[in-house]
Amino acid sequence: MASVPSRPAELSDPTHHGGWVIIISAIFLVLLILCLAIRAYVRTTYSTIAGSPDYVLAVAGVVGIIQTCLVFWEVSKGLATSSKLMSISDVHLLQKSWFASTVLYLIALWLAKCCVLFVYLQLTPNKGHNLASWVVIGFSTVWVFISILMIGVDCELNTPWSHLASQCTGLFARWQVITALDVITEVVIFSLSIYLVFGLQMPVKRKTVIVAAFGLRLFVIIPSILRLHYYWTYINSANPTLAVSNVAIWTEVQMHTSIIACVSYCFKSFTAAVSTNYGATAINIEVYDSTNNRTGFTRGGGYGANSKMQSSNSGGSQGAFVGHRGGQNRTTVTTGSKRLSSKTSNDSQKMKWQPSCKAGTTKWSYTGLVPHEEVFYRLFQFEKPKKPWKVKKIGRGDFDTILGSVSASVRYNTLRITGEEVRVNWDQEEKTFKLSGTYGL
Query: Do 228 and 116 belong together in one domain?
Result: yes
DSSP three-state, residue 163:
helix
CA–CA distance, 275 with 258 (Å, rounded to integer): 24
Whether 330 is in a domain gets the answer yes
Query: Do 88 and 192 belong together in one domain?
Result: yes
CA–CA distance, 347 with 238 (Å, rounded to integer): 84
CA–CA distance, 116 with 265 (Å, rounded to integer): 9
Angle of CA points 59, 63, 65, to nearest 5°: 115
Whether 267 is in a domain gets the answer yes
Q: What is the pLDDT of residues 185-219, one digit of tens each?
A: 999 999 998 888 876 666 777 788 878 888 888 99
The number of angstroms, rounded, from the C-alpha of 289 to the middle of its chain's C-alpha atoms is 40
Query: Do 62 and 117 belong together in one domain?
Result: yes
Q: What is the pLDDT of residues 218-256, one digit of tens each?
A: 999 999 999 999 998 888 877 777 878 889 999 999 999
Q: What is the pLDDT of residues 394-439, one digit of tens each?
A: 333 333 332 233 333 333 333 333 334 444 444 455 544 444 444 3
- Domain of 419 in residue numbering reads as 279-440
Domain termination residue (choose one: 253, 277, 301) = 277
Whether 257 is in a domain gets the answer yes
Query: Do 331 and 264 belong together in one domain?
Result: no
Query: Do 326 and 398 belong together in one domain?
Result: yes
CATH code: domain of residue 244:
1.20.1070
Query: Do 272 and 341 belong together in one domain?
Result: no
CA–CA distance, 247 with 21 (Å, rounded to integer): 9
| Residue 90 scores a pLDDT above 90 | no
CA–CA distance, 406 with 390 (Å, rounded to integer): 10
Angle of CA points 191, 222, 262, to nearest 5°: 55
Whether 218 is in a domain gets the answer yes
Query: Do 247 and 286 belong together in one domain?
Result: no
Query: Do 64 and 182 belong together in one domain?
Result: yes
DSSP three-state, residue 222:
helix
- β-strands 405-407, 283-288 pairing: unpaired
Contact 311, 356 (CB under 8 A): no
Query: What is the reported pLDDT for 67?
Result: 96
Whether 2 is in a domain gets the answer no
Whether 258 is in a domain gets the answer yes
Contact 122, 303 (CB under 8 A): yes
Burial of 410 from C-beta contacts in 10 A (0-12 / 13-18 / 19+) = buried
| Residue 133 scores a pLDDT above 60 | yes
Mean pLDDT of 131-149: 94
CA–CA distance, 356 with 377 (Å, rounded to integer): 18
CA–CA distance, 344 with 324 (Å, rounded to integer): 13
Q: What is the pLDDT of residues 39-78, one digit of tens each?
A: 887 777 655 456 788 889 999 999 999 999 999 998 888 8
Whether 148 is in a domain gets the answer yes
Angle of CA points 108, 264, 405, to nearest 5°: 90
CA–CA distance, 159 with 181 (Å, rounded to integer): 28
Query: Do 283 and 250 belong together in one domain?
Result: no
Domain termination residue (choose one: 277, 300, 334) = 277
Query: Do 364 and 259 belong together in one domain?
Result: no
* Stretch (H or E) spanning 246: helix 240-260
% helix / strand / coil in the chain, to the nearest 5?
A: 50, 20, 30
Burial of 413 from C-beta contacts in 10 A (0-12 / 13-18 / 19+) = middle
Whether 343 is in a domain gets the answer yes
The better pLDDT of the pair 67, 364 is held by 67
Q: Of 62, 89, 95, 94, whose CA–CA distance to 76 is shortest?
A: 94
Domain count, the chain: 2
Query: Do 253 and 347 belong together in one domain?
Result: no
Query: Do 284 and 270 belong together in one domain?
Result: no
Domain termination residue (choose one: 277, 302, 336) = 277
* Stretch (H or E) spanning 423: strand 420-427
What DSSP string describes 10-72? T-EETTEEHHHHHHHHHHHHHHHHHHHHHHHHHHHHH-S---HHHHHHHHHHHHHHHHHHHHH
